[in-house]
């Protein structure tokens, strides 16, 4: 009997933890999109008014905070500083591939970032600033969608985690 009780509590704890983890992921996405937009705005300012190379600008942006999104810029700066003959896009792509799983961001945000990276370092300042503005606008729409998804899904994930655990415990008994 004691083993069933411990097993039931373990199942309930595990499913609840899974539900709360998924809810946290949904909650983090709008926040990280907002951070990404802020970092892109800083990059836009660096490109428009600054004289630093792109690698230094990315490194400077990454120093503002230590979070999952700033790690994208840190990895990008590292890739750009390698100077291994790779294009700017290839450096950003490797950094995104390396760090993306650590974020709560989804494919839509990755697509926006990759489209932007195709322009960075390959066109004049005006064109890069224009593309940065477009990327920020697109990310603003994605942030609204992410907030809507958060409103719909966060509580559901928590509830489903606890209730599925309770159902499994009841079925076990």
Residue 81 has pLDDT above 80, yes or no: yes
**Tally: H helices and E strands in the chain:** 6, 0
pLDDT at 169: 87
Q: What is the mean pLDDT of residues 133-141?
A: 95
Residue 2 has pLDDT above 90, yes or no: no
Structural element, H or E, at residue 59: helix 54-62
> Is residue 164 packed enough to be buried (19+ CB in 10 Å), middle (13-18) or exposed (0-12)?
middle
Residue 109 has pLDDT above 90, yes or no: yes
Q: How confident is the model at residue 173 (pLDDT cuts 50, 70, 90)?
A: confident
What are the boundaries of each domain within the chain?
2-172
Residue 116 has pLDDT above 80, yes or no: yes
For 17-74, how does the pLDDT look when each residue is reduced to its tens digit (9 = 90+)? 999 999 998 999 999 999 999 999 999 998 888 878 888 999 999 998 889 999 999 9
Least confident of 59-68, 143-152, 155-164: 59-68
Distance CA 13, CA 169 (A): 11
For 82-96, how does the pLDDT look when each residue is reduced to its tens digit (9 = 90+)? 878 788 899 999 999
Query: What does the mean pLDDT of the chain come to?
Result: 91
The conformation of residue 128, written as its DSSP 8-state character, comes to H
Cα–Cα distances (Å) from 85 to 32, 57, 59, 82, 120, in that order, read: 31, 19, 19, 8, 16
Residues 6+ apart with CB under 8 A from 136: 37, 40, 41, 44
Q: What is the largest CA-CA distance in the chain?
A: 73
Distance CA 69, CA 34 (A): 10
How much of the chain exceeds pLDDT 70, in percent? 100
């Amino acid at each position: 009997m004691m083993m069933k009780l411990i097993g039931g509590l373990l199942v309930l704890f595990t499913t609840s933890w899974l539900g709360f983890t998924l809810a946290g992921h949904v909650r983090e996405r709008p926040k990280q999109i907002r951070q990404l937009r802020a970092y892109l705005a800083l990059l836009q300012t660096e490109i428009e008014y600054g004289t630093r190379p792109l690698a230094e600008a990315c490194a400077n942006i990454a120093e503002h905070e230590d979070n999952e999104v700033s790690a994208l810029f840190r990895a990008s700066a590292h890739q750009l500083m390698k100077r291994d003959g790779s294009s700017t896009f290839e450096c950003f792509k490797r950094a995104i591939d390396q760090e993306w799983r650590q974020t709560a961001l989804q494919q839509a945000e990755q697509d926006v970032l990759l489209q932007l990276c195709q322009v960075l370092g390959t066109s004049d300042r005006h064109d890069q600033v224009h593309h940065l503005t477009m990327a920020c606008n697109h990310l603003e729409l994605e942030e609204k969608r992410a907030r809507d998804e958060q409103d719909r899904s966060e509580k559901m994930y928590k509830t489903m985690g606890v209730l599925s655990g309770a159902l499994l415990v009841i079925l076990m008994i």
